[in-house]
Amino acid sequence: MGMLILEKVWGKDNGLMEPGCRCCYWFKYEIACMISRNTVRFNCPILNAPTKDNVRVCLDIGINFHIGRNEETLENDAKRFFYNFGPNRL
C-alpha cells in the first residue's frame, strides 16, 4: 500500500510528494506529514465501566480506519484528514 507524504514549499501546501529518491532535499521544502495507506484498526476494550444506575458494563469498541476512497480523491482526502480532522482529534 505505501505512504502518502504531504509536502510544503516555504510553508505553503505543495500537495503529495512524488515517489522516488531525494539525494539533495532543498531547505525550502518541508515534509508536513506521512500517512499510511494501510487500514488501521483501533481496538478499545472498556472493562467494568459504571453506569448512572451503578451497573457495571463491559464494552469492546473496534474502529477500522482507512484514508482515501479511490485514487482520484486520494490527495484531497489526505489533505482533509491532516489539515481539518488531524490525528490528534482521532
> What is the reported pTM?
0.59
**pLDDT tens-place string over residues 1-56:** 678 888 888 988 888 888 877 787 788 888 888 887 777 777 888 888 898 998 99
Phi, psi (deg, nearest 5) at residue 79: -65, -45
Do residues 61 and 45 make contact, with C-beta atoms less than 8 angstroms apart? yes
Q: Find the helix or strand (DSSP H, E) in which 65 lies.
A: strand 56-65
**pLDDT tens-place string over residues 53-74:** 989 998 888 877 777 777 777 7
Return d(Cα 11, Cα 84) in angstroms, integer.
Answer: 17
Predicted confidence at residue 67, as pLDDT, reads: 78
Domain boundaries, the chain: 3-38+66-89
Among residues 72, 47, 68, which one has the least CA distance to residue 57? Answer: 47
Predicted confidence at residue 55, as pLDDT, reads: 92
Predicted confidence at residue 62, as pLDDT, reads: 80
